Amino acid sequence: MSMKKILISALVLTGILTGCSSSTTGELIGVQGREKYFEPEPLEMAFIPAGSFTMGPSDQDALFAQNSLSKTVTVDAFWMDQMEITNNKYRQFVYWVRDSILRTKLAEAGVPDREYYMVDEEGNVIEPYVLNWNEEIDFEEQTTKDALEEMYYPTEERFNGKKQFDIRKFNYIYYWVDYQQAAKSAYVYDYENNTGEYQGEVTNPDGSRSAVANRASFIVKKITNVYPDTLCWIRDFTYSFNDPLADMYFWHPSYDDYPVVGVDWVQAVAFSNWRTDFMNNALRKKGLAEVSKYRLPLETEWEFAARGGLDLSMYPWGGPYTRNYQGCFLANFKPLRGNYIDDGSVYAAKVASYEPNEFGLYDMSGNVAEWTSGAYHPSAYIFQHDLQPNYEYNASPDDPAVLKRKVIRGGSWKDIAYFLQTSSRDFEYQDSAKPYIGFRNVRYYIGANY
């Protein structure tokens, strides 16, 4: 048979195979027509590859805390913010909450010829209600003026008669799925009677327990006030004058690129939830696939990222010292007794003021300590798994304080060098806002192309 006939036969056979559907060939070819997904590099986030490292102390336990042991663990790949969340980035969240409250008020007021709720093709409001951010607000309308007036402090609470937004109303409502409790329950299906029921109990947000009714039992509603606690600058430093920072640190443009502080763990989680929805809503409008959720890093992820691939290193820059060869400090911390300025900053410094580590992450040591998702337990390293180690506990408001402890990492501008070490761990209570604690987000890397 000639080469030409072989080529023609191959083309005919290919046409037959491609023209047939799976229903006629009987072969498994998977669901066809699914788009291929390649995760683009997110803005100002560094890719942290999967890897294994020795978690735990890289130096002697100077404080004799005995809350960490050396343990080899494996961490999957993820994205991490290169810099701590700044005042200006967090302000975007605060403004979104403020504006959403205003739009909701206007929608409920039924302003004529204004569609502040999304409607379908027939003009009917879509339920559950979704705000229409494309509808411009006419601030000259009386209804708008009335709604705005409700958002200001009442007259008797105003200072010098100045109208200011009542930040007590800046409450963000969101929902999340408690996978931990869902995994502990069981759904039993009776095939003969075509009925099913859940077995087990669920702990409610108020701390009470009830039988699992249905799938909605694992959906938790959370309401969180999002405005930072600016008075933490005064509350945390007795006999110290920090009034200017309480007045201006969060709102003044000069501090836009400084790390946000005064945000407790609960607010940081709320921000992460909002950031996820904000991104996915934008992607859905473009017809693109959603990304995995933004969240606080696992304690293990934080330490792995801080080391920057330099195993057993005391600090993110690798060496055992806090100065470089020129004698300059490598991070913003408290280098000497009372000498806060010796590293160049009295308080927090602008993000990325110091060199990044090998993963391209800034300020993993010093500047502000950072919240992680982990609940604090001094023996966590012993009972955690060696694959993606994690220990979480969703404390309710009525839980004792010991159950509200969350792990913080990295040390801050007010801490000595020991707390800057990549392995040093400490805790703070989840409902406590401090002027030296901030946070950054991570996002799970979709796929396995490490």
Q: What is the pLDDT of residue 448?
A: 61
CB 196 within 8 Å of CB 190: yes
Q: What is the pLDDT of residue 8?
A: 42
Q: Which residue has the higher pLDDT, 138 or 259?
A: 259
**pLDDT for residue 375 is more than 90:** yes
**pLDDT for residue 359 is more than 50:** yes
Q: What is the pLDDT of residues 110-122, one digit of tens each?
A: 766 677 777 766 7
CB 425 within 8 Å of CB 378: no
Mean of pLDDT values over 5-15 = 44
Share of the chain above pLDDT 90, in %: 52
Q: What is the pLDDT of residue 3?
A: 45
Q: What is the pLDDT of residue 120?
A: 66
The Cα-based distances of 420 to 149, 220, 303, 321, 413 in angstroms read 47, 36, 11, 11, 10
**pLDDT for residue 25 is more than 70:** yes
Residues in the chain, total: 450
Q: What is the pLDDT of residue 289?
A: 84
Q: What is the pLDDT of residues 241-264, one digit of tens each?
A: 999 999 999 999 999 999 999 999
CB 354 within 8 Å of CB 343: no
**pLDDT for residue 146 is more than 80:** yes
- Please report, as a single letter, which amino acid is at residue 232: C
Q: What is the pLDDT of residue 307?
A: 95
CB 409 within 8 Å of CB 306: yes
Query: Of 103-107, 290-294, 394-398, which one has max mean pLDDT?
Result: 290-294
Q: What is the pLDDT of residue 9?
A: 45
CB 411 within 8 Å of CB 332: no
Mean of pLDDT values over 419-429 = 93
Determine the Cα–Cα distance for residues 186 and 197; give it in Å rounded to an integer: 8
Determine the Cα–Cα distance for residues 385 and 56; give it in Å rounded to an integer: 14
CB 316 within 8 Å of CB 422: yes
Is 0.85 topped by the overall pTM? yes
All domains in the chain, ordered by first residue:
45-85+295-450 (3.90.1580.10)
Instruction: Order the strands of the 437-438 sheet from edge to edge.
Output: 425-429, 405-409, 369-375, 437-438
Q: What is the pLDDT of residues 69-85, one digit of tens each?
A: 888 999 999 999 999 99
Q: What is the mean pLDDT of the chain?
A: 87
Token output for 112: 């004529």
